[in-house]
Amino acid sequence: MDYPLAQIALSKFPKAKFVEIEHYKDIFNRPKQHFQIQKSSMKLILAKKTAPFLYPASEMIQEYETPNVFYTTPILNCLYNCDYCFLQGMYPSGNLVIFVNENDFFKSIQEKLKNLENPLKPLVIPISYNTDLMAMENIIPITSNWIKFVRELDNLKIEIRTKSALFSSIENISPPKNVILSWTLSPLEICEKYERTAPPVHRRINSMKSAIEKGWLVRLCIDPVLLIDRWEDKYNRFITDLFREIDGKKLVDITLGVFRMNKDYFNRIRKRESRSDIYYDNYIIENGTVTPPIELRTHAMETLKKHILTIHPKMRILIWE
Amino acid sequence: MQCILTALKAESQPLIDHFKLIRDSTYPFPVFRNGSISLIALGVGKKNIHHRITTFYNSVQENNIQFINIGIAGGNPTSTKIGECYFLHEIKDEMSGALYYPDILVKHSLEEISLVTVENVVSNGESRYRGLVDMEASEIFNVCSSIVPLQRLAFIKIVSDHMDLKFEEIIALPISTLILNHLASIELFFIRFNRLLKEETPILSETDLEWIHNTIQELALTETQSLQLTHCAKGFRIRLERREFPEIEKISTLNKSTQKILFRKICEKLST
Ligand code: SF4
């Protein structure tokens, strides 16, 4: 508990009751927990992570044009609770684990940089893969600490994906060249139905706008695209409206992808009787991934790509296919 | 259903009176019931706990049972007050060293504390134990967590002494009054805790399941089709809470292709 991050977290909850435990898994990995009930009364677990600190990135993540892609987990679980989130199927618990030994994460990255599979390409690390890191920034400044750490490292890029409206918490940091802030946005109907606990989309857009204005590298993620009733109209209208608000030319790129999930996670969520209709649609299983049938998803991705390109013909679009 | 677990008669009595529970003599040990609340008297110590709880659990039709242990405990004189009511967030079994962590999932106004379950009454343990001591909680957790999920367990303890009394002295205390003083917050907790059970209600009702069963029979669905039908039915029920499932078309000659067509039609109806 002597770690600075632990002290900061503790200071944010002066009335909290602390329970000392031996290992975070003694609580987090217990069988017979109810993920969703715990989500409505989340507990914060402060823990020290042991190696490994980097994991090979899954195929669910869009292509980064480098073999050196790894993800890391400074936090397990998320403050938000999107219906389509794979974390529900990945973790046995809805509680949040924060790893407070961030220097060990940083050291492992320095080591990795010395042993890259292809040293000519950069090491890319999505650091907000199993959480929404920026959403936690008011509680614990992990995002800003990572930004400060990577600033001086030439051959490293990090991506911080978020649905938060908390850009204000890092806006005083000058934007480094190797940090991409990625906002996941969805049409209002999707946000209201499937992302109820995340900030409203207009607040996310405002945060994204501020980041662009301050000179940050910003990526737009329309991912997952949910093929709901009249999805075409809804997503196309959303994209048109969005580009009236933000300057698309200033985006690094856009990532698109339909709903997809590791089959085991998906089945676990179904078994837990998720109350989201997403889990009772018809999908196919392709290489262990649950996803809409190929014709549907290709059509969806082509439609949206075409629409984006009519507005911004030069936009770089990364697609999960 | 909510099932209260107590050790002493003096702990049970105020709860029996308050919830108007009536003795159910079909059990060879004291069980009291009234509608959705039951109480099992376990006696002092661990010896009867497994038998009584599992006998009760196996005898009731209900799967959705919450177990709530309510009782007195000895408290550390510096960290606890006599008469104060606590929620347990950690239970240690002194003999085995096993640690258990009850999930605290409802808002409450009580203090939270840890407890050690001991084998014998502690009458000189003022400095040995940081929180509370009792003689049952760890075994209750151990037994109940093997039959129900963790979110259905809760532990409420009221400090009766500062670990400086002998057993005869403890049972001579006004234990019922200690419990009575906290009935209001205990009852409020019961109401809030009960709401969690609703979150566990299955998506499909008995009637829904019957419709699925009949459809499977009538259309002679394969195992894969049956599973798909169940998923479509769940999606339908989530979208349309009260709507009845679609009528199944009657067909005199059901062959492989008509079966497939009918099955597809039903799934489409359920999905739109
Ligand atoms: S914001 Fe991302 S990580 Fe958090 S719940 Fe939603 S999908 Fe999951």
Name all domains of chain B by residue range, CATH numbers in brackets.
Answer: 2-198 (3.40.50.1580), 206-271 (no CATH)
Distance from CA of residue B172 to its chain's centroid?
A: 31
User: What SS3 state is found at A48?
Assistant: coil
**CATH code, A220:** 3.80.30.30
Secondary structure in 3-state letters for A66-119: CCCEEECCCEECCCCCCCCCCHHHHCCCCCEEEECCHHHHHHHHHHHHHCCCCC
Amino acid B258: pLDDT: 84
How sure is the predictor about A62, in pLDDT bands with cuts at 50, 70 and 90?
Answer: low
The DSSP bridge pattern shows strands B132-134 and B2-6 to be unpaired
Based on the number of CB atoms within 10 Å of its own CB, is B16 exposed (0-12), middle (13-18) or buried (19 or more)? buried
Phi first, then psi, for residue B77 (nearest 5°) are -65, -25
Share of chain B above pLDDT 90, in %: 75
**Going along chain B, which residue ranges are E strands?**
2-6, 22-23, 31-34, 37-41, 66-75, 85-93, 99-100, 111-117, 132-134, 153-161
Which member of B90, B106, B145 has the closest CB to residue A19? B90
Helix (H) or strand (E) holding A297: helix A294-311
Contacts of A45 in chain B (CB under 8 A): none
For residue A88, what are the domain limits? 4-319
Backbone angles phi, psi at A286, to 5 degrees: -125, 120
Q: Is A313 helix (H, G, I), strand (E, B) or coil?
A: coil
| Averaged pLDDT, A284-301 | 95
Question: Measured between beta carbons, which residues in chain A are less than 8 angstroms from residue B90?
Answer: 19
User: In this structure, what are the phi and psi dihedrals at residue B244, rounded to the nearest 5 degrees?
Assistant: -75, 155
Report the C-alpha gap between A96 and A319 in whole angstroms: 30
Half-sphere exposure of A254 (CA within 13 A, CB side): 29
Q: Give the residue among B162, B140, B136 at the shortest CA–CA distance from B153.
A: B140
With a cut of 80, say whether residue A61 has pLDDT above it. Answer: no
Dihedral-angle region of residue A292 (phi above 0 means left; psi in -120 to 50 means alpha; beta otherwise): beta
Q: Is A267 on the interface with B (CB under 8 A)?
A: no
List, for residues B80-110, the tens digit of each pLDDT value: 999 999 999 999 999 999 999 999 999 988 9
pTM equals 0.93
Residue A34 touches chain B, beta carbons under 8 Å: yes
CB neighbours of residue A177 within 10 Å: 10
Residues 6+ apart with CB under 8 A from A219: A159, A180, A181, A182, A183, A251, A252, A253, A254, A255
Q: What's the DSSP call for residue B247?
A: P
Q: Nearest residue CA, atom 5 of ligand 1?
A: A81
* Cβ atoms A97, A28 nearer than 8 A: yes
Yes or no: say if A86 and A261 are a contact pair by the CB < 8 Å rule: yes
Question: Which range has the worst mean pLDDT, A100-104, A111-115, A302-306?
Answer: A111-115
- Enter the ipTM: 0.92
Number of domains in chain A: 1
Residues with CB under 6 A from ligand 1: A 78, 80-82, 85, 87, 131-132, 163, 198
- Alpha-helical runs (H) found in B220-254: 223-239
- Phi and psi, residue A59, nearest 5°: -70, -10
Interface residue A174 vs chain B (CB under 8 A): no
Q: Could B234 and A280 be called an inter-chain contact, meaning their C-beta atoms sit closer than 8 Å?
A: yes
Q: What is the pLDDT of residues A91-107, one digit of tens each?
A: 999 999 999 999 999 99
CA distance A290 to A259: 8
Give the residue among B89, B93, B117 at the shortest CA–CA distance from B105.
B89
Query: pLDDT of A195-254, one tens digit each?
Result: 999 999 999 999 999 999 999 999 999 999 999 999 999 999 999 999 999 999 999 999
How far, CA to CA in Å, does B263 sit from each of A109, B23, B230, B251? 54, 52, 12, 12
Q: What is the pLDDT of residue B164?
A: 86
Instruction: Say whether A19 and B103 touch across the interface (CB within 8 A).
Output: no
Query: Measuring from atom 6 of ligand 1, which residue has the nearest CA?
Result: A82
pLDDT of the residue at B156: 97
Q: What is the mean pLDDT of residues A127-140?
A: 95
The whole-number pLDDT of residue B204 equals: 96
pLDDT confidence of A115, banded at 50, 70, 90?
confident
* pLDDT at residue A109 tops 60: yes
Calpha distance A204→A190 (Å, rounded): 14
- Mutation pick for ligand 1 pocket among A131, A136, A204 (CB with most ligand atoms within 8 Å): A131
Of B145, B202, B271, the CB nearest to A32: B145
Residue among B182, B109, B138 at smallest CA distance from B5: B138
By Cβ distance, the residue of A33, A273, A277 closest to B239 is A277
Query: How would residue B120 be classed by pLDDT, with cut points 50, 70 and 90?
Result: confident
Which residues in B lie closer than 8 A to residue A22 (C-beta atoms)?
99
Q: Express each pLDDT in B140-184 by its tens digit.
A: 999 999 999 999 999 999 999 898 888 887 777 788 899 999 999
- Distance between CA atoms of A52 and B107, rounded to whole angstroms? 37
